[in-house]
Amino acid sequence: MDSTNNNKSFGSSSLTMGEKICAAFIPVIAVMDFLIFAMAKCFEYRPHHKKCRYGFTDLARLSNESRFTVNEVEALYELFKKLSSSIIDDGLIHKEELQLALFQTPYGENLFLDRVFDLFDENKNGVIAFEGFVHALNVFHPYAPIEEKIDFAFRLYDLRQTGFIEREEVKQMVIAILMESNTKLSDDLLEAIIDKTFADADADKDGRINKEEWKEFVLRNPSLLKNMTVPHLKDITTFFPSFVYNTEVEDL
The contacts found for 205-210 with CB under 8 angstroms, 24 or more apart, are 207/166, 207/167, 208/164, 208/165, 208/166, 208/167, 209/164, 209/165, 209/166, 210/163, 210/164
- Which is more confidently placed, 212 or 238? 212
> What was the pLDDT predicted at 108?
74
Asked if the model's pLDDT at residue 129 lies above 70, the reply is yes
The contacts found for 54-59 with CB under 8 angstroms, 24 or more apart, are 54/130, 56/248, 56/249, 59/249
Asked if the model's pLDDT at residue 64 lies above 60, the reply is yes
Global confidence as pTM: 0.72
Instruction: To the nearest 10°, report the CA torsion of 73, 74, 78, 79.
Output: -10
Dihedral sign for Cα atoms in the order 81, 83, 85, 88: negative
Q: Are 203 and 216 in contact (CB under 8 A)?
A: yes
> What was the pLDDT predicted at 227?
66
The residue-averaged pLDDT of 195-215 equals 93
